[in-house]
Amino acid sequence: MYFFTGHTPNDVTRAYHKIVGTPVQTPQWALGWHQSQWGYKNTAAIKKVADGFFDNDLPLESMWADIDYMQDYKDFTVDQ
């Protein structure tokens, strides 16, 4: 158990950061609107969804299609 003391909250935070390190800055794109879903059959399907966002003036920073490419959802595999 650690106790951090200081004259100001910033002093306490600095003491804490000496133990655990400083946090990394979150990338700006990660703070935006993301869309994710299983079942995309191909890149045309992904483009259709993205176009739907843009056509309707909806915000979209990134799309995730990170599991459908796997063979039986196993890491480090590609479904032919």
Distance CA 19, CA 22 (A): 9
What is the per-residue pLDDT across 22-79, written as a single tens digit (0 to 9) for each? 988 888 878 888 888 888 888 899 999 999 999 999 999 888 887 777 777 787 887 6
Question: Would you kindly state where each structural domain of the chain is located, as residue ranges?
Answer: 9-73
Indicate the SS3 state at residue 20: helix
pTM above 0.75, yes or no: no
Distance CA 30, CA 64 (A): 12
